Structure 1
Amino acid sequence: MTRTKLESAADNDNNPYTIEWIRFESGERLPLLVRRAAGLPIEAPAYWITASERPLNKAAKTLEKQLRQLMLLYLWADARGSTPEGLIRAPGFLSLEQLNDLDRFCRQRLPHAVAEALKARGAGGNVVRSRGRGPKKQGPLGIQSAVGHRLAVIHAFIDYVSFARASRMQPGSEARRVYEEARKAILGSLRERARASIRPRSPAEAREGLPKETRELLLAAIKPGHAGNPWKLQVQKRNELIVRLLYELGMRRGEVLCLKVRDVKLTPDGGLLSIVRRPQDPEDPRREKPEVKTLGRELAIGHALRELFIGYLAERRKLPGARRHPFLFVSATDGAPLSLWSMTKIFKTLRKEVKNLPDDLTAHVLRHDWNDRFSEMSDRAAPNRTSQDAVKEERARAYAQGWTNPETARVYTRRWTREAANKRSLEMQERREVLVERTDEGRVSPDQRANAEGEG
């Protein structure tokens, strides 16, 4: 087992807490919350992550995010001259005043929380020197959702640690009754605050797929040799294949980066691509490992993708460094497995160099776009499908995307849903106008009716 330190943009020199990783012989990586001064993992978070969260098969990056959110609880306790463990194990548990204070503390950015904690301890926390790039700027909704996730993680941690504390108290004792009542009330309030803060994105901020003209622009620009291709010649075939996999199959960027050569099975007319979950992969030498978050699956490869694979694999074989590992996508300089940072750079270059591409174009936007096109094709193929047909369709979508719950599709079909709703609305309006016109044409005035009666 090895232990390494992995700094990120969220770290800064003043923060008394950081994240370190341990790597087991099996290849599994596990994050730990570490107090910098002591240089040792904090026992309670390590126990919680190992015994409660890790068995749920959560991705290592998800566990890391949870620990970063848990930092706010430890910084808050530092600012109050206490520790989370001491407050949780106190006979009266946490008070409502402490909960309100914690809620307020969690509604600020991490650098400001660090500064407040250091200032309260007299450690000169007025200036926060950030290392590397700072966190992305967020709108009010983004900040509010971040607060909700922080409170949800803190709730899960306190719930687990306090339950362990209560289970060791004498059953039926007055002390346990008082503790359990306080625990129930505070945890209930904390849970409601977390739920209230996690709000869905507004339609203006929600991520969507691409308009038709943007799709055509993107697919034209990524072709090797195209005048608008933004990448160097030696990476054009690799990058085209990456973007086409994201576009044609709706894969996540981690799934693309985790592909191994043996996962590609080509046939004369196409082939199969295996997406495999390997949370404990000793073959992956990357420090920051990409991960397959969704279910494993096999996806069909069409003739066009097959040709792209053949062209790229021929180039990959020319790199000596690529023979030292099984990963499909590699750096063009040394043949090492392609990193998450390199994937981000691919899209950053696209956005910067290709005019009229959206500023928010990322690998994940293409996953949304795949779902839009899936819905559009389903409408064209079976416009009068039954409810049973719709259920089968969503099961097929869930399989292709690796989801356990077909309801997840709602997040990925916002553009199609909006356009379909507007189309139906316009059809209803036009149909109503036709009906009104026909009614007007057939309407008889009282004078006309009297004249007709007199003539009769």
Structure 2
Amino acid sequence: MSPLRVRTFRMNSGERMALLVHGSRGLPVIPVVPYALRLRARSAAPATMRKALSAVALGLDVFADLGIDLIQRVAQRRFLSSDELIALAERCRISEPEFGSRLVDPHYAKTRYLTCADYIEFVAEPVIARIADAVQHDAANAALERFKRRVKRFAPKSDSHSTNDDGSPKERLGMTPAQRELFLRVIQPGDPGNPYSLKLQVRNCALLKLAYELGPRAGELLGLKCADFDFSVQPANFTIHRRHDDPDDYRENPATTKTNARILSLDDDLRDLLDEWITYQRSDRSKFPHARKHPYVFVNYKGEELTDRGLRDIISTLEQRYPELAPLHPHIFRHDWNDRWNEANENSAKPEEDLRDQKAAMGWSHRSSMPQRYGKRSIRNSANRKIARMQAMGRTK
């Protein structure tokens, strides 16, 4: 069999379907198709489907190397031994050869490993269901449960690289005050320190200021359409829609919204900046000739829809020019927004109302625990300020 690879198909409805394929003609790997359909039934995003099927491809390669026939193993109630699971875990820690066979992020390694285990369980379920003898059926289910426990024992540790070089915890944090000041200055069009070409300075400022001021996810930014903005009202606003399988989106990685739809207001400065970009800059055919072919707000240098790779390049260009802004990535603005929200409301008399509004602004469910995962820098600073007050009280007694 030729090397396995994941291929994404775009249907007329706009839906993306990923399949594991092989051979020069890209024929589907038939035993894996039902698993791909289950991912689709779970409404997995195209990128999630591709990652899951890539992990399955890795697992199939490992099983082939070890001479493992999954169906035969299930029928024999053997599954994978401890040594075989260790071998699978080790392979999940290493990137594909074309990327230099380096160690991958530990969280990604664990996700790959657990996806392979999930696929084994998926293969096992119909095999066990066909066992007619009640005693053997129960024995097979018991063997499957033992396998699940064994899987957990040998899973890659997701926190194995969770510390910095100095031993401090590695966390996703928002920016420091100094970083915010530098960031907001150098993204301004015309600033001497702006690292972008004159043609793209207004676009990049509009995109980055929108990310900074309102904290949308990267997919929400890339999925914004010109019609989502209303500059005729006061205050101006825009709507973040849930548009899964959008027929307008032809990007390989379509923009997706994981959170709830919502309407967010714009202050006058951000409204004017976005109006300048959408009404005058983006519509200039001499600058962005392909922008008229699609409805999306943010475009590349030709006017085509901006991709997730393009967004990362914009941010990495800024980080390369200003290393003191590191680590800079698309999601840092969401963390930073929550830091600033917590700082602004630290002494509020209505904490429950503030928490409700925070969840609404981020598109989180009212039952969500996400506020505890975001804004870690502000939470830590607030805790330390309270500790300092407690210590001061102790010294005055």
TM-score, normalised to structure 2, is 0.89
Considering only aligned residues, what root-mean-square deviation do their CA atoms show, in Å? 2.4
- Distance in 1 between residues matched to 2:361 and 2:89, nearest whole Å: 38
- Distance in 2 between residues matched to 1:295 and 1:376, nearest whole Å: 24
- Which stretches in structure 1 are left out of the alignment for 5+ residues? 1-13, 115-127, 436-456
- Distance in 1 between residues matched to 2:172 and 2:101, nearest whole Å: 19
Q: Which residue of 2 aligns with 1:308?
A: 273
- Distance in 1 between residues matched to 2:207 and 2:343, nearest whole Å: 23
Q: Which residue of 2 aligns with 1:264?
A: 229
Does 2:295 correspond to 1:335? Answer: no
- Distance in 1 between residues matched to 2:202 and 2:308, nearest whole Å: 18
- Distance in 2 between residues matched to 1:136 and 1:315, nearest whole Å: 42
Does 2:147 correspond to 1:197? Answer: no
- Distance in 2 between residues matched to 1:135 and 1:348, nearest whole Å: 23
Q: Which residue of 2 aligns with 1:105?
A: 88
The DSSP-based 3-state class of the residue aligned with 2:236 is strand
Deviation per residue, 1:120-161 (Å, 9 max, x gap): xxxxxxxx4x2xx557755xxx43x33322232123222233
Q: Which residue of 2 aligns with 1:273?
A: 238
Cα pair 2:46 2:253 within 8 Å, conserved: no
Shift of 1:338: 1.1
The DSSP-based 3-state class of the residue aligned with 2:47 is helix
Instruction: Assess, with a 3 A threshold, how the Cα gap between structure 1 residues 21 and 371 changes in structure 2: closer, same or farther.
Output: same
Deviation per residue, 1:44-87 (Å, 9 max, x gap): 33212212x22222211111111222223211111022343443
1:121-140 alignment to 2 at 5 Å? 128=97, 130=98, 134=100
Shift of 1:279: 1.7
Instruction: Assess, with a 3 A threshold, how the Cα gap between structure 1 residues 354 and 197 changes in structure 2: closer, same or farther.
Output: closer
Deviation per residue, 1:160-189 (Å, 9 max, x gap): 33222222322x533312212211211233
Q: Which residue of 1 aligns with 2:318?
A: 350
- Distance in 2 between residues matched to 1:188 and 1:110, nearest whole Å: 20
Q: Which residue of 2 aligns with 1:228?
A: 193
The DSSP-based 3-state class of the residue aligned with 1:270 is coil
Instruction: Assess, with a 3 A threshold, how the Cα gap between structure 1 residues 356 and 38 changes in structure 2: closer, same or farther.
Output: closer
Amino acid at match of 2:383: A
Q: Which has the larger radius of gyration?
A: 1
1:33-432 alignment to 2 at 5 Å? 33-36=20-23, 39-51=26-38, 53-88=39-74, 90-95=75-80, 98-108=81-91, 128=97, 130=98, 134=100, 142-143=105-106, 145-170=107-132, 172-191=133-152, 193-194=154-155, 197-199=157-159, 201-202=162-163, 204-313=169-278, 314-319=280-285, 320-332=289-301, 334-354=302-322, 356-358=324-326, 360-380=327-347, 382=348, 385=349, 389-404=350-365, 405-432=367-394
Shift of 1:330: 1.2
Instruction: Assess, with a 3 A threshold, how the Cα gap between structure 1 residues 411 and 47 changes in structure 2: closer, same or farther.
Output: same
Shift of 1:339: 1.6
- Distance in 1 between residues matched to 2:256 and 2:215, nearest whole Å: 16
The DSSP-based 3-state class of the residue aligned with 1:420 is helix
Shift of 1:270: 2.8
Shift of 1:193: 4.3
Deviation per residue, 1:82-134 (Å, 9 max, x gap): 3434433x232415xx243123332235667x7xxxxxxxxxxxxx4x2xx55
- Distance in 2 between residues matched to 1:375 and 1:136, nearest whole Å: 38
Shift of 1:426: 1.0
Shift of 1:362: 1.3
Amino acid at match of 1:275: I
Instruction: Assess, with a 3 A threshold, how the Cα gap between structure 1 residues 44 and 397 changes in structure 2: closer, same or farther.
Output: farther
How many residues were matched structurally? 387
- Distance in 2 between residues matched to 1:295 and 1:86, nearest whole Å: 45
Q: Percent identity?
A: 27
Cα pair 1:48 1:160 within 8 Å, conserved: yes
Shift of 1:307: 0.4
- Distance in 2 between residues matched to 1:15 and 1:353, nearest whole Å: 43
Which moved further from structure 2: 248-257 or 296-305?
A: 296-305
Cα pair 1:228 1:354 within 8 Å, conserved: no
Amino acid at match of 1:220: R
Instruction: Assess, with a 3 A threshold, how the Cα gap between structure 1 residues 284 and 306 changes in structure 2: closer, same or farther.
Output: same
Cα pair 1:76 1:102 within 8 Å, conserved: no
